[in-house]
Chain A
Amino acid sequence: MATDLRISNISKIYPGCIANDNVSLQFKSGKIYALLGENGAGKSTLVKILSGVISPDNGEVFLNEKNLKLSSPLDAKKNKIGMVFQHFNLFETLSVFENLSIDANEDNKSLRVRINEIFKKYNFSIDLDVPVLNLSAGQKQKVEIIRCLLRSPKVLIMDEPTSVLTEQETEELFISLKKFCDEGILIIYITHKLKEVLSLCDEVAVMRKGKVVSVSQTQNERVETLANKMVGQKLAKIKKKINISKNKDEIFKVKHLNFYSDDPFETNLVNLNFSVKKGECLGIAGISGNGQNELFQILSGEIITPNTSIIFRNKEIAKLNPKQRREYLMAFSPEDRISQAAVPELKIYENVALNNFKSSNFFEKGLVNERKIKDHSKKILSDFSVNTDNVELKSQFLSGGNLQKLILGRELITAPELLICYNPTWGLDVGAINYIHETLIKINDQEKSTILISTDTEELLKLSDRIAVIYKGKLSKIMPSEEVTPEKLGVLMGGGSID
Chain B
Amino acid sequence: MSLDISFIGILIGSIMASSVPLILAASGELITERSGVLNLGVEGMMIIGAISGFALMVITDNLFIAIIGSMLSGVIISLIFGFLTQSLLTNHVATGLALTIFGIGLSAMLGKNFVGIPGKDFPILFSSLRESIPFFGPILFGHSIVLYFAFALPFLTNYFLKKTKLGLVVRAVGDSPVSASNQGINVILVRYCCILYGGAMCGLAGAYLSLIYTPQWIENMTAGRGWIALALVVFATWSPIKVLIGALIFGGITILQLHMQAIGFRIPVQFLSALPYLMTIIVLVVISRDSRKIKLNTPTSLGRIFYKEK
Contacts and interface: CB of A to CB of B under 8 A. Distances in A.
Interface string B83-96: 00000000000000
B175 A91 contact: yes
Contacts of A133: 295-296
A88 B295 CA distance: 19
A90 B309 contact: no
Contacts of B183: 73, 89, 102-103
A90 B180 CA distance: 8
Contacts of B179: 88-91
B193 interface: no
Contact of A91 (B176, B184, B295, B309): B176
B295 A93 contact: yes
A53 interface: yes
A77 B181 CA distance: 13
B300 A93 contact: yes
A402 interface: no
Interface in A42-98: 48, 51, 53-55, 72-74, 77, 83, 85, 88-94, 98
Contacts of A55: 310
Contact of A73 (B169, B182, B296): B182
Nearest to A51: B182
A131 interface: yes
B298 interface: yes
Contacts of A88: 179
Interface string A104-146: 0000000000000000000000000001010000000000000
Given A55-B310, A92-B175, A74 B297 contact: no
A93 B298 contact: yes
B237 to A, nearest CB: 12
Interface in B167-207: 168-169, 171-172, 175-176, 178-185
Nearest to B291: A263
Interface in B209-256: none
Contact of A98 (B168, B180, B309): B168
Contacts of B309: 48, 53-54
Interface in B8-45: none
A53 B252 CA distance: 51
Contacts of B297: 93
Interface string A11-54: 00000000000000000000000000000000000001001011
Contacts of B295: 93, 133
Contacts of A92: 175-176, 300
B182 A74 contact: no
Contact of B178 (A77, A89, A103): A89
A321 interface: no
A93 B171 CA distance: 9
Contacts of B171: 91, 93-94, 98
A51 B172 CA distance: 20
Nearest to A89: B179
A89 B296 contact: no
A92 B175 CA distance: 7
B190 to A, nearest CB: 12
A73 B184 contact: yes
A13 to B, nearest CB: 12
Contacts of A102: 165, 168-169, 172, 183, 185
A58 to B, nearest CB: 15
Contact of A93 (B175, B182, B184): B175
Nearest to A83: B182
Contacts of A131: 296
A101 interface: yes
Nearest to A72: B184
A459 B282 CA distance: 53
A73 B181 contact: yes
Given A54-B309, A54-B310, A94 B181 contact: no
A83 B171 CA distance: 22
Given A101-B168, A102-B169, A133-B295, A94 B184 contact: no
Nearest to B309: A54
Contact of A74 (B168, B172, B184, B298): B184
Contact of B182 (A89, A94, A98, A101): A89
B226 to A, nearest CB: 27
Contacts of B296: 93, 131, 133
A94 B298 contact: no
Nearest to B296: A93
A287 to B, nearest CB: 25
A55 B298 CA distance: 33
A91 B172 CA distance: 6
A53 B182 contact: yes
Contacts of B181: 53, 73
A133 B297 CA distance: 12
21 contacts: A53-B181, A53-B182, A54-B310, A55-B310, A72-B184, A73-B183, A83-B182, A85-B182, A89-B183, A90-B176, A91-B171, A91-B176, A91-B180, A93-B175, A93-B297, A94-B175, A98-B168, A98-B172, A102-B165, A102-B172, A102-B185
Interface of B: 165, 168-169, 171-172, 175-176, 178-185, 295-298, 300, 309-310
8 nearest A-B residue pairs (beta carbon): A74-B184, A89-B179, A91-B175, A73-B184, A91-B172, A89-B182, A93-B296, A93-B175
Given A89-B178, A93-B300, A101-B168, 9 more contacts: A48-B309, A54-B309, A55-B310, A83-B182, A89-B176, A93-B171, A93-B175, A94-B168, A98-B168
